[in-house]
Copies of this chain bind each other. A is one copy, B any other.
Amino acid sequence: MREIKINLSESDIPRQWYNLAADLPSPLHPPLSPDGKPISPDMLAPVFPMNLIEQEASRERWIDIPEEILGILYRWRPTPLRRATHLEEHLKTPAKIYYKDESVSPPGSHKPNTAVAQAWYNKQAGVKRLTTETGAGQWGSALSFACNLLGLECKIYMVRTSYEQKPLRKIMMQVWGGRCVSSPSDETNVGREIRKRMPDTPGSLGIAISEAVEDAVSDKTGRTRYALGSVLNHVMLHQTIIGLEAKKQLEIAGERAPDVVIGCAGGGSNFAGLAFPFTCDKIHGAKIEILPVEPTACPTMTRGEFSYDYGDIACMTPLIAMFTLGHSFIPPAIHAGGLRYHGMAPLVSAAIAQGLMAPRAYDQIKCYEAAMLWARTEGAICAPETSHAIACTIEEAVKAREEGKEKVILFNFSGHGIMDLSGYEKFLSGKLSGYALPEEDLKKSIAAIKNFPKPGPVKGA
């Protein structure tokens, strides 16, 4: 069995990010303030630095990556493109399974691609301290890592259930100088309020975002801003380096364009990073199936509404047009903490609404089965989030076998799972509880947004 691994040299790294907003057949819907009017850049200034606000609104197709950011990305990029020959053999599939290995960064995932960029832009704007939320801990560690390298302070609100399941993650953040607290915390008004109302809540990304935003905007010295690890346009943008590298690597491998592109999607960033450059090809006529994968426990894309909604539980963010389960929805405490978000990136949501992508949902038992098969064939241990992409990949590879088609499948190995082994232990000992999706809460939280604006045709489109 030949090992197939395609490295790029430093000089082959993409020097521009790709902005899908430039190519979407129907333009993106703008964020709105609660009164229904488009927000102005000034309104976001207490939260983000102006250079990132401009990037968020940009409709330029290609945006230069500053040399200083590339200088830091070189620490682990370009990442390898590998082929899962052992899994292919096990499945007896004619499909070729390629994956982009984003687990090789020091924090262990794709997250530092945008963490480094955001920390750099904030530093350029004079910011000294960043606040953020984290689900599984991948994003919090990545931002700590980036802030350490760029000399910024970092404060992380970590969703309670992950904080308790993954004690090593918070130590990792501390090693890089970040300060991590369990969310809901007693360090913000919204955190204290929620602890009072729901003392046993497992927490959620929606709550942690509210806390981190409150922390940033309540620092009146102006030295603090907030950084988000997913969802926003500029985050998707920074991640496109993944797909742009993968394109060059498939070319080097002598492969045609992929037939299927797969990624797990919580807020959407690792998926978008791989998929957007291929989505551009699809818009221009290529025949590619593009599959974002989510957990059935938090079925934003497969059961949510395409609607304007808040990004956080306390309604501190603008209204954004996205697939959403309602901002008050708190998903069950599944192990894939990074996929427990009620919303989905506006760019991914728009691409789904415009028929460019076809979301899937899997339950966590199926995903752990996929993760175990991966570990025992390919060797590596994947993050619980990544297991969703692998479950879909296996399904597609089996389908290719049944159809007798030599498909090229490409997926994003977004992160390793060696700090998430407690979920594997529960799975192996048969103790992995099926989650109880709170259907009543889901209905209520979706109903609560029924009067919110629905994204219609955009003026001037």
Q: Which 10 A-B pairs have the closest CB atoms?
A: A171-B421, A3-B74, A106-B379, A168-B421, A171-B425, A106-B380, A175-B375, A175-B424, A174-B428, A171-B424
Residues of A407-425 whose CB lies within 8 A of B: 418-419, 421-422, 424-425
Interface residue? A271 (CB, 8 A): no
Give 10 A-B pairs besides A3-B75, A171-B421, A174-B425 with Cβ atoms closer than 8 angstroms. Answer: A104-B104, A149-B379, A168-B418, A168-B419, A168-B421, A168-B422, A171-B425, A171-B428, A175-B428, A176-B376
| Shortest CB distance A245–B (Å) | 15
Residue A172 interfacial (CB < 8 Å): yes
Which residues from chain B contact A3 at a C-beta distance below 8 Å?
10, 71, 74-75
| A353, chain B: closest CB distance, angstroms | 39
A381 interface residue per 8 A CB criterion: yes
Beyond A3-B75, A74-B3, A168-B418, whether A174 also contacts B380 by CB under 8 A is: no
Option from B74, B149, B175, B418 in Cβ contact (under 8 Å) with A172: B418
Chain B min CB distance to A139 (Å): 16
A75 CB to nearest chain B CB (Å):
6
Chain A to chain B contacts (Cβ below 8 Å), 15 pairs: A3-B74, A104-B104, A149-B379, A168-B422, A171-B422, A171-B424, A172-B381, A172-B421, A175-B375, A175-B376, A175-B381, A175-B421, A175-B424, A418-B419, A419-B419
> Can you list, as one digit per residue, whether each of A95-116 has a CB less than 8 Å from chain B (1) or not (0)?
0000000001010100000000
What residues of B have a CB within 8 angstroms of the CB of A372 in the complex? 175
A12 to chain B, nearest CB (A): 13
Binding site for B on A (CB under 8 A): 1, 3, 7, 10, 71, 74-75, 104, 106, 108, 145, 148-149, 168, 171-172, 174-177, 372, 375-376, 379-381, 418-419, 421-422, 424-425, 428
Q: A419 to chain B: which residues have CB within 8 Å?
A: 168, 418-419
Output the nearest chain B residue to A420 by Cβ-Cβ distance: B168
Question: Shortest Cβ distance from A120 into chain B, in angstroms?
Answer: 14
Assembled-state Cα–Cα distance A1/B72 (Å): 9
Q: Which residues of B contact A422 (CB under 8 A)?
A: 168, 171
A375→B1 CA distance, assembly (Å) = 36
Chain B CB within 10 Å, residue with most, of A71, A104, A171, A380:
A171
Q: What are the residues of chain B within 8 A of A176 when measuring CB–CB?
A: 375-376
In the complex, the chain B residue whose C-beta lies closest to that of A74 is: B3
What is the CA–CA distance of A108 and B380 in the complex, to the nearest angstrom? 10
Q: How far is the CB of A249 from chain B (nearest CB, A)?
A: 14
